[in-house]
Amino acid sequence: MSGETMTITMREFEDGDEEAFRRLNEEWISRHFKVEATDESAFAHPREKYLDGGGRIFFTLRDDEIIGCCALMPMGPGEFEVSKMAITASAQGIGAGRFQLQGVVDAARAMGVKRLYLETNHALGPAIHLYEAVGFTHVPAERLTPSPYARADVFMEMWL
């Protein structure tokens, strides 16, 4: 083996990224769950769902290959949901998920966001561990609101 190094970077959504956004998210969702109507809406219209309302979509790249994505969706004043976080299966275990999540948290801080929120599922143990390691905590039951996703059963937040 040569001493190859890989470069992991992040960039924001560009025209033409719609298919990568769909592919990355369908991959993990269909591996563990089923794609829901709310997912389909986000995949069909990522610009309208996230960007037009003041959100952002980030892509993680290994060298020049898109290997991950994550969106920030406005929820209310100073609050954003971390949404549609995915790292392709072939790139898991190289630290790309932590790099991506930390980049999204840093971007939110730079935007002046006060609270980040996310929804996940108890079956996604490695993801939950990552969220906790970066600083997310579980939302107390008395503060939970209904989710549009049938699969969501873990709710977390981070105060910035």
Per residue in 88-123, pLDDT (tens digit) is 999 999 999 999 999 999 999 999 999 999 999 999
pTM comes to 0.93
132 Cβ partners below 8 Å, 6+ apart?
156
Locate the domains of the chain by residue range: 8-159
Of the candidate CATH numbers 3.40.50.920, 3.40.640.10, 1.10.10.2120, 3.40.630.30, the domain formed by 8-159 belongs to 3.40.630.30
